[in-house]
Structure 1
Amino acid sequence: MARDFPISNGNVLINFDLTYNIRDIYYPRIGMENHALDHLSHFGVWCPEGFCWIDDRDMIKDASYWEDSLVTNVACRHDRFGLRMQIQDGIDAEDNVMIRKVKVRNGFDRERTVKLYFHLDLHIYGTAIGDTVFYDPDINSLVFYKGHRYMSLSCCAAGQAGSAPSSYATGQKEIHGLEGTWRDAQDGQLGRYPISQGSVDGTIELELKVPANGESEGWFWVCFGTRLDEIYAMERRIRAATPQARLQRTGEYWAEWVRKDKHELNRLSPEIAACYKRSLLLIRTNMDNGGAIIAANDSDILKFNKDTYSYMWPRDGALISHALDRAGYHDLTRRFFDFCKAALSKEGCLLHKYNADGSLGSSWHPWVNAEGQKQLPIQEDETALVLYTLWHHHVQANTLPDSADDYERLVRPAADFVAGYMDESGLPLPSYDLWEERHGVFSFTVASVYAGLLAAGNFAEYHGDPQRASHYRDRAALVQKAAQTHLYSDKEGRFGRGLIWNAEKKTYELDASVDACLYALFDFGLIAADDPRMVRTMDEVKRRLWVQTDIGGLARYENDFYHQVSKDIGKVPGNPWFICTLWYAEWLIDKAKSEQELAEPESLIRWAVTHALKSGVMAEQINPYTADPLSVSPLTWSHATFIKVVQEYLSKLKSFAAEPRKKEDMSEQKVLEEVR
């Protein structure tokens, strides 16, 4: 089930599914050590009229976030029980604690006892082997632990921060036919067993007296630490400051954070502006405070191939950083480039992907080719795009005077690698494409290499290294010439996806397939957006890859097999992807010569807004018939692409608005010259 409403502070990330159940709990690094691992933690309510969990079909929910914040706001209604609940969740901006506020309204004209149940099904370090949960009377909490990971689950009624839960239960699950303590809650009575070990779970109960036609308020919180005394100290702080103050502070923190963006969002429709700000916040949930920008943290994908997207791909990270740098979040992106500096291999390249702690991530790129010869298991664009975006980072942050260490330890070794990793024609040597499916020389990679070498040349010139500056720029020019010679098809009248080695003929052959990633040729500056060759290429992208259903959107390429829904390739070349649809919008924006020509790309931006979940979450791709999210959700890259395209749209709008004034100024200057 797709993830919705992620909340995070850069150390703790919690994902809710579409029914508002907790499914993922990451700590102490975003993307590592998922202590829930897609197992469901329940939340339920008991009253004299009955019991239900939050995902019960009779529990009607209207879920959203606080405006411009990473605090959720979920309105729940159960008509038969005569109950309404308002649930708000956030991760504290300073301490590693999740805080939940529950306001219960009694719709009957008599006082009632209502019991709330918060259940945690943990798999600490990603496994249920050797976990322990016990009730700790010193802090009136259930404490879960294994090794150096501790979590406490606590609750109180409003104004009673030091009180104990009205009841609790610990128990086993997934063994001996046991399902867990959540089953114990359904009769409104918990067993109060004080400790369990092995594969365990735990539930706490908070009893509220709710007046007739009135309200009562309850609070739950989960503290995260690496030692028991750390949990104790955090519990004392929460109770002293009150969870209410913590949640309010967290909401205000994120509202202030999102206001740091430097763009004139008032030029946008309210829907697009809101989605832009929500995208900034959602990107932040997938960024580890140590610098790793994680592609996605939806563990539902485990069902597909027993692996996740919870890794840092340098390409994704570079493009996401670029969007954030343009928005003004330079301190945040600085951590990403420091991560890359530490991760750079001895050859001078970045490898496939990394864990949040900097260790090498899982990979399917082999270290030998079909002939058994050694090859680097890389996507070269991942190294080149870090060079490209690092230059823009320093320019936009006005930090070039502080870039000497980056130049020595990252730019020079990476640029020397990129400049040397090419054949005599100027084409880069083979590597894997950005979709990680083919080995060869691809247009996306070539464009990124061109941009990376130009950026390296700029660095070299700034740091007084003219020989390298000339070398990098000469190599970039060679790459550009080779691309136009070898990647363009006279027969098709457009660029192709790339070159594939033909082992029998001992030569490269053009793969003329239409691929949405051909947008990179103009986006990274190798070909002008309005060059006739680029126009024909992008026109064909739209013609061949637009999904011919009521949903619309652009597929990656024809007959895309990944999470394929339909074999009707003529109508559905592949599932629509947010990034691919937005890339086409970016090209339309780039070549627009009037404000009227921005109508179509604006409609594509609106397409992305419309097909996001109500929360604003954008998946990787969507079902071409139902628009349901497919693959991971949210995908960080989807939100970064949305941000960048909106930024380009605003920039073009601003330039068109300035043109009449510019013409007026020129007319005034002409009059003055005539007077003189």
Structure 2
Amino acid sequence: MHPPCGKAPVAETRKAVWSSARKEMVGTALGASRVWFTLARGIVSEVYYPRIDIPQLRELDFVVADGVDFWVALKGQDAYSVERLEDDLPLAMLVHRHPRFELRLRVCVDPHRDVLLLEVTLDGDETLRPYALLAARLGGDAEGNLAATGEWDGRRTLWADQGPFALALQCCDVEGRPALDARSVGEVGASDLREDFARHGAMRWHYAEAGPGEVALGARLPRRCTLAVGFAGSREAADTLAWSTLALGFESVWDAYADGWRHWREVCACPRLPRLDAAVAGLFRRSLNVLKIHEDRTYPGALVASLAVPWGEANESRGGYHLVWSRDLVESAGALVALGAYDTARDVLAYLHATQQADGHWLQNQWLGGKPFWQGIQLDETAFPVLLAGLLAAHGELGAIPVTGMVELALRFILAEGPCTGQDRWEEDPGINTFTLAIAIGALVEGAQFLHGRAAELALMVADYWNANIESWCWAQDTALAREAGVSGYYLRAAPVHVLMCEGAKAEHLFIKNRAHDYDRPADEQISTDFLQLVRYGLRDAHDPCVVSSLKVVDRLLRHDTPHGPVWHRYNGDGYGEHPDGTPFDGTGRGRGWPLLIGERGHYALLAGEDVGPYLRSMAAMTGRGGLLPEQVWDAAPIPEHDLEPGAPTGAAMPLVWAHSEFVKLCLSLEQGRPVDAPPRTWARYGGQRPTLDYVLWRFRQRPRTLRQGQELRVLLRAPATVHWGVDGWQDVRDTPTEDWALGHLACLPTGRLAVGSRIDFTFRWSADGQWQGEDFAVEVIAQ
């Protein structure tokens, strides 16, 4: 026995990265506990506490060694399996096999305490012992952690703390006795237990203190034992929690953990589901759990995008996907509503109600408490919460949540900024994007039910106008791309902002993010799958010629066939993914296939009267070792050294909660014969048909240059004004004051009787200060 003493050597400056993003399981207890765990590469990877957006450790690995010169670290070994122990519930056992041993790990969380619990069983060569290696990352920070060995009420312990966070690592044997044997703490990469084994082939260091820095805890364990990691605000409190859980016994805690998940399975029972293949049904059940696991306790209704940091082993960013995006959140809430989990869906809406910004929009993404992370403006993220309010209302499950003020603020922002968005849903291009436009139109229609009088009328008026103009803004024809595909045209990935102001803007070059070279190309040479949302939301029919033509181009450019079925890229030229040689995305790369898009294509297939089964089976086949859906799958030749196989997960985030919610919705949509998250009032209003209008809407951000004979010119402004206007060089001059329509100020000019070729000239005088706009505008009357 070597008692710990002295301080561990300090590490040289190193890149403090995260764990693999290819999670094999994620878990949490459904109770008072505030701990979430992930498994990746056969070990425990990031663990979060006391909120789902705060990681507290990077990984908990194990070494099996004989104490002389043989040792094997579990991380990096491929001879292991992830076994789900009951009907796809998050009840995990990791089984590592080696010619000299078999090590089994069962992992769970105490439902009543902030404690992660592991049962460790080592069989085989009797000379071998397991060792635990815990890399702390308290508060998500690798710089200021302190670690120490110690004694607490006569029991040996391992501690780490930083600021308001602390953890304690404890162990008991099968008799319930304290069982941490040899102990040491160190700095990762310099004096931790892994470095000790790498240098000496056995545990030789026994340091009592380490840090501040990126610290690790290490200890020798019995061959059969229970390991507890307690989390609290102090070392002593964490240790007390760990020992309280150990005192209950592993089986007792495991059963309580399992019971919580059995109850959730009953809440989400869906007896009306059609017969599904076994693999599809299994993924459906796992997806229900993934949705629930990613919800926070402190902020009910806040679901993060994923408990993963994309390409984590090469990524040192503090912000992974353990953040809230309102888009991902509402996409997930749509599945919850369809499942009948109305309480959770209402919690989502209440959380969104609380985090709306003063001007009506929602942040690009945020920490759970509402602090912004990235700063982009995405119009769909302002529209989605309105759609959730409408969906809950359609089910009669809105409850007492007062949404009128929230909806009015959101629609004001949409009217002020739309139809353009600062970023599309992929957080890249500005312009007019068909997905974003569909969401915004849906929000205007669904949100109108919560407004009164002219406010509701104006929301519907703008929705109709935007819907009627989708093709005039977003359609490209007679391009080289169209000729190569043998079609007349296609919907653009993003129409430049200037398309609202001048002719010829569709050829304007748009920047392509995440590409080291060839990082821009003309807008009319870029295509995406985003237009499918027009069909899903009832704005266009599945057999509309423009939709069918665009689909041909998408399948030619963006579809890739894999051994598990076809998968689609987001858009041509995408740079978000591994490099061609398989090395991780590092700010540039090459985009890969997204299983999420298979689900979207499946929803289109449903509306087109096609078989949905192949899409469900493809998604189920593209899961990882633990049965979770990834953000991306590899779609090129195998690269074994980077563990990349066609149709299998890449190093991007897994699971992607949005992908799981899309899969759940596709299963339920198949049963109902329609998309379960489709906005009902929008479908009823348009039924897949482009509206025909007797007016043209002019705004500063949206300046039509023509109107058809018989149409009325409507001028929509954000402040009261008088429209000063005349015809054909300021003849027959008139003044028409705007009227207050709650969401804007509207002037309707009686232009319906003007002849073809007439020109309407106009400007404004602002009511607030009597100042003239100082600029003239014109609209020409053209034939029907």
TM-score interval for Structure 1 and Structure 2 normalised by the shorter chain: 0.7 to 0.9
Distance 1:115 1:274 in 2: 36
Instruction: Note the alpha carbon deviations across 1:96-153, whole angstroms, 9 max, x for none.
Output: 21111123334x7xxx365222221112221232413232332543222122111111
Cα deviation for residue 252 of structure 1 reads 2.5
Match of 1:406 in 2: 403
SS of corresponding position for 1:453: helix
Q: Indicate conservation of the 8 Å contact 2:134/2:218, yes or no.
A: yes
Q: Indicate conservation of the 8 Å contact 2:336/2:342, yes or no.
A: yes
SS of corresponding position for 1:386: helix
Match of 2:91 in 1: 71
Instruction: Note the alpha carbon deviations across 1:399-444, whole angstroms, 9 max, x for none.
Output: 33413x2223x2221123223434xxxxx14421111221111111
Aligned with residue 53 of structure 1, among 73, 78, 98: 73
Distance 1:393 1:168 in 2: 57
Whichever structure has more helix as a proportion of its residues is 1
Match of 1:474 in 2: 461
Alignment of 1:340-379 (within 5 A): 340-363=352-375, 365=376, 378-379=377-378
Closer, same or farther: CA 150–119 of 1 in aligned 2, 3 Å: same
Question: Is the counterpart of residue 271 in structure 1 residue 316 in structure 2?
Answer: no
Distance 1:359 1:336 in 2: 17
Cα deviation for residue 284 of structure 1 reads 2.9
Distance 2:663 2:438 in 1: 21
Alignment of 1:251-266 (within 5 A): 251-263=258-270, 264-265=272-273
Match of 1:157 in 2: 173
Q: Comparing 260-269 with 554-563, which one deviates more in the overlay?
A: 260-269
Question: Is the counterpart of residue 448 in structure 1 residue 464 in structure 2?
Answer: no
Alignment of 1:262-341 (within 5 A): 262-263=269-270, 264-265=272-273, 267-289=275-297, 290=299, 291-301=301-311, 303=314, 306=317, 307-341=319-353
Distance 2:276 2:97 in 1: 34
Q: Indicate conservation of the 8 Å contact 2:192/2:218, yes or no.
A: no
SS of corresponding position for 1:283: helix
Q: Indicate conservation of the 8 Å contact 1:553/1:578, yes or no.
A: yes
Match of 1:87 in 2: 105
Question: Is the counterpart of residue 584 in structure 1 residue 601 in structure 2?
Answer: yes
Closer, same or farther: CA 193–501 of 1 in aligned 2, 3 Å: closer
Match of 1:373 in 2: none
Q: Tell me which amino acid in the other structure corresponds to 1:123.
A: R
Question: Is the counterpart of residue 643 in structure 1 residue 664 in structure 2?
Answer: yes
Cα deviation for residue 563 of structure 1 reads 1.7
Instruction: Note the alpha carbon deviations across 1:554-608, whole angstroms, 9 max, x for none.
Output: 11112222225559xxxx995211111221111001221xxxx32xx31121111
Question: Is the counterpart of residue 132 in structure 1 residue 132 in structure 2?
Answer: no
SS of corresponding position for 1:318: helix
Q: Tell me which amino acid in the other structure corresponds to 1:257.
A: W
- TM-score (norm: length of structure 2): 0.71
Q: Indicate conservation of the 8 Å contact 1:501/1:508, yes or no.
A: no
Q: Tell me which amino acid in the other structure corresponds to 1:482.
A: N
Cα deviation for residue 489 of structure 1 reads 4.2
Distance 1:475 1:206 in 2: 67
SS of corresponding position for 2:427: coil
Cα deviation for residue 382 of structure 1 reads 0.5
Aligned with residue 500 of structure 1, among 484, 496, 502: 496
Distance 2:187 2:238 in 1: 25
Closer, same or farther: CA 345–324 of 1 in aligned 2, 3 Å: same
Match of 2:535 in 1: 522
Question: Is the counterpart of residue 30 in structure 1 residue 52 in structure 2?
Answer: yes
Closer, same or farther: CA 574–236 of 1 in aligned 2, 3 Å: closer
SS of corresponding position for 1:25: strand
**Runs of 4 or more consecutive aligned structure 1 residues displaced over 6 Å after TM superposition:** none
Closer, same or farther: CA 56–502 of 1 in aligned 2, 3 Å: closer
Instruction: Note the alpha carbon deviations across 1:192-217, whole angstroms, 9 max, x for none.
Output: 54444423321232224xxxxxxxx4
Distance 1:120 1:22 in 2: 9
SS of corresponding position for 2:106: strand
Distance 1:380 1:257 in 2: 34
Distance 2:489 2:128 in 1: 70
Question: Is the counterpart of residue 119 in structure 1 residue 129 in structure 2?
Answer: no
Closer, same or farther: CA 573–52 of 1 in aligned 2, 3 Å: closer
Gaps of 5+ in 2: 1-19, 479-487, 507-522, 582-588, 637-644, 677-784
- TM-score (norm: length of structure 1): 0.81
Distance 1:165 1:188 in 2: 19
Q: Indicate conservation of the 8 Å contact 1:171/1:181, yes or no.
A: no
Q: Comparing 235-244 with 605-614, which one deviates more in the overlay?
A: 235-244
Instruction: Note the alpha carbon deviations across 1:444-496, whole angstroms, 9 max, x for none.
Output: 11101111111111233xxxx34433232222222211224432346534433
Closer, same or farther: CA 249–430 of 1 in aligned 2, 3 Å: closer
Closer, same or farther: CA 466–133 of 1 in aligned 2, 3 Å: farther
Distance 1:443 1:91 in 2: 43
Closer, same or farther: CA 436–205 of 1 in aligned 2, 3 Å: same
Q: CA RMSD in A?
A: 3.0
Number of residue pairs matched by the alignment? 598
SS of corresponding position for 1:580: helix
Aligned with residue 160 of structure 2, among 108, 119, 144: 144
Q: Indicate conservation of the 8 Å contact 2:110/2:117, yes or no.
A: yes
Match of 2:12 in 1: none
Cα deviation for residue 322 of structure 1 reads 0.9
Question: Is the counterpart of residue 487 in structure 1 residue 474 in structure 2?
Answer: yes
Match of 2:35 in 1: 12
Distance 1:654 1:433 in 2: 22
Closer, same or farther: CA 525–504 of 1 in aligned 2, 3 Å: closer
Alignment of 1:559-598 (within 5 A): 559-563=573-577, 565-566=579-580, 574-592=591-609, 597-598=610-611
Q: Indicate conservation of the 8 Å contact 2:274/2:671, yes or no.
A: no
Q: Indicate conservation of the 8 Å contact 1:92/1:250, yes or no.
A: yes
Closer, same or farther: CA 84–304 of 1 in aligned 2, 3 Å: closer
Q: Tell me which amino acid in the other structure corresponds to 2:276.
A: L
Q: Tell me which amino acid in the other structure corresponds to 1:563.
A: G
Closer, same or farther: CA 548–69 of 1 in aligned 2, 3 Å: closer
Distance 2:148 2:337 in 1: 43
Closer, same or farther: CA 195–31 of 1 in aligned 2, 3 Å: same
